[in-house]
Amino acid sequence: MNNNNSNNLELRVKSSTENLSLIREFVSSSALSFLIRKEVIDKLILAVDEAASNIIRHAYKNSPEGVIIITFICDDKECTIILTDYGTGFNPTQVKSPDMVSYLKEKKRGGLGIHLMKILMDEVDYLSVSGEYNKLVLKKKIA
């Protein structure tokens, strides 16, 4: 874990599901260091866990050799968490919000990660530079 400046913490891990607990702990401890309320921390952890799981599953196709960089930036008003990967790009704007009634009726599993992130966070942005990197930016107001 690097501390680039007082408001910018960073964690680099391999793209293995075994590192999801380390990622959750990083988000939790980073948020606690900024004295963020527990209900907000829980939302941050859940959104980042979903995002990291998607990166492992989709960007890196479950290969444990990829790298995920989680950058945690916070000020008095807002927390920003940036997940950077170097895997296959993805356009989350093409993912439609699910029809939850039919989703539950059909007993579907998975596919709710982006929908969940949008509910939990105030802002979800995605940038993909083909062949170079992908950045998922999650923002949550804390004030």
What are the backbone dihedrals phi and psi of residue 17, each rounded to the nearest 5 degrees, phi first? Answer: -60, -20
Would you say residue 108 has pLDDT above 50? no
Give the residue-averaged pLDDT of 121-127.
93
Would you say residue 102 has pLDDT above 80? no
Tokens of 98: 């699910």
Would you say residue 107 has pLDDT above 60? no
Identify whether the C-beta of residue 142 lies closer than 8 Å to the C-beta of residue 73. no
pLDDT tens-place string over residues 48-75: 999 999 999 999 999 999 999 999 999 9
Residue 89: per-residue pLDDT: 85
Burial, 23: exposed, middle or buried (Cβ in 10 Å; 0-12, 13-18, 19+)?
Answer: buried
Place of tokens 């948020």: 31
